[in-house]
Structure 1
Amino acid sequence: MKPFHMATLAALMAAAAAAATAAGAVTFDATNTASSTAGGQRFDREVGVDYAKQVLADASSFIWDAFEQPGDGGDRKPVDAVTLTVEDIDGVAFTSGDAIHLSARYVGGYSSSSGDVRTEVTGVLYHEATHVWQWGLQDYAAHSWVYEGIADFVRLRAGYVAAGWVQPGQGNSWEDSYSVTARFFDYCDSVKPGFVADLNAKLKDGYNVDYFVQITGKTVQQLWQDYKAKYGN
């Protein structure tokens, strides 16, 4: 191989290495297995796998920051690759391990009156990517609200609030999950900056209601009462 070609190859390899380092040496991939369906075609047309891969990378970086997990020395989950598969399934999306599955039927049926479908998919991917990186999912079945609340907290902080979310102060319990819990966690994070990062770190050992006291000095009941009072509820 000629020296010029060798130099070019070296430069390309260096650029690839730099890109991998910037992404925390994690790879991101997306596949649409439902391109023959109306929803899959809409995904290809209005979102696209290249955009989705970039969202996974951006979301992961955002989550690492939210969880206060820098590349060197951070207590980050050991994940080497994050994948997205668009499938002809019911529901919205789900995550298993480091694999995210998005419903093409949801994409196809998403109403334009609720907003831009690309923005909605972006928000869904921020939520699902949080499940890839958060600790403590061994306790998900017993305390799903806390994990879904953290995932929606990340989506909230990233600026992708979905149509139909509750407003701050709404909800009957901190365990209502999703946007109710996300709004409450956002309040807790204002009381104790880094609350969600601290909570996620503690969840590595499973959920314990005493974590609220350990992090903020207040019980979850006290925090909820203060939260409701702040918004006149």
Structure 2
Amino acid sequence: MAPTPPSAWPYPTLSLRIPDLAHPGVHTFLRLLDAHTALTLAVESTLTHLYDTPANPNLPQTVGSVMLVLRSMDGVAYTTGSETHKEIHLSVDYIVKKGEGGEDVGREIMGVLTHEMVHCYQYNARGKCPGGLVEGIADFVRLHADLAPPHWSPHSVPDKWDAGYQHTAYFLDWLENRYGKGTVRELNVLMKEREWEENIFRELTGRKLGKLWKFYIELLKVQ
């Protein structure tokens, strides 16, 4: 689905902070991407896949600003902040590492930014949603934004449904294909004003979560 024209969505104020301009990972980022354009596209992908249209009454209206912080740190990225101000911290060391591996670094950065932007806008069952599902929804959006990295595989068999990241994302993708477009969008909205319970999946599909997971794993094992 093509993103909605920029004027339609309630865009936050976007900003960039770079503690060390001399870092080679910063050089790579600035050479490959325009920060404002990259963040705008990440917002568009997130809102399109989680809320479909600016007219959706469940669209969060509280996110007033998002700051991207490019800095040296362990790991890849994380999102923090308040209800109104979010910060996405992206490791410039990770950017250097990806460049050394010969990967499409610009595409990988866009994938990470999209994943983290989802955390700025998704619902989490009043903080009670399983962490694996939170991360799985973020990677579901990344997947549907056509930003999946080369190492992801829809055929890997996870140990549990909320293993997180791409593993849960592909389970959600299967649900989306089986029960109709918008299933994951509805799952997100169901977690807006209630605490987590597995029965949410039954409300969505008519089947218990355990049964859905069993069907999915059986399908993976015969592929």
TM > 0.5 between the two? Answer: yes
Among 55, 58, 83, the residue aligned to 2:38: 55
What SS is found at the alignment partner of 1:176?
coil
CA contact (8 A) 2:140 2:170 kept: yes
Unpaired runs of at least 5, structure 1: 1-18
Counterpart residue number, 2:139: 152
Partner of 2:209: 220
The answer to whether the Cα contact below 8 Å between 2:18 and 2:70 also exists between their aligned partners in 1 is yes
Identity %: 28
More helix by share: 1
Letter in 1 for 2:10: G
1:81 is aligned to 65
User: Greater shift after overlay, 127-136 or 185-194?
Assistant: 185-194
Aligned with residue 29 of structure 2, among 43, 61, 75: 43
Q: Is contact 1:191–1:216 with CA below 8 Å preserved after alignment?
A: no
- Equivalent residues of 1:169, 1:183 under 8 A apart: no
Match of 2:200?
211
- Equivalent residue number for residue 190 of structure 2: 202
* Pairs aligned (count): 211
Alpha-carbon contact 1:169-1:228 (below 8 Å) kept: no
In 1: Cα distance, 2:220 partner to 2:6 partner: 44
Q: 1:24-43 deviations in whole A, cap 9, x for unaligned?
A: 24322223323222222222
Structure 1 pair 152–25 and aligned structure 2 pair: CA distance change class (3 A)? closer
Whether the aligned pair in 2 keeps the contact of 1:93 and 1:103 (CA below 8 Å) is yes
> Could you tell me which amino acid in structure 2 is paired with residue 103 of structure 1?
S
Are 1:102 and 2:86 counterparts?
no
In structure 1, distance between residues paired with 2:148 and 2:131:
20
Whichever residue aligns with residue 209 of structure 1, its letter is E
Matches within 5 A, 1:1-233: 21-47=7-33, 51-77=34-60, 78-97=62-81, 98-113=86-101, 115-136=103-124, 138-139=126-127, 143-168=130-155, 170-193=157-180, 194-204=182-192, 205-233=194-222
Q: Deviations over 1:129-171 (max 9, x none)?
A: 000010127426x611010000000001111112332333521
SS in 2 for 1:159: coil
How far apart are 1:118 and its partner, in Å?
0.5
Q: TM-score, normalised by structure 2?
A: 0.85
Tell me, yes or no, if the aligned pair for 1:69 and 1:75 is still in contact at 8 Å.
Answer: no
Change in Cα spacing, 1:166 to 1:137, as seen in structure 2 (3 Å) is farther
Larger gyration radius, structure 1 or structure 2: 1
Aligned counterpart, 1:16? none
Deviation at 1:179, TM superposition (A): 0.7
The alignment's C-alpha RMSD in Å is: 2.1
> What is the letter of the counterpart of residue 219 of structure 1?
K
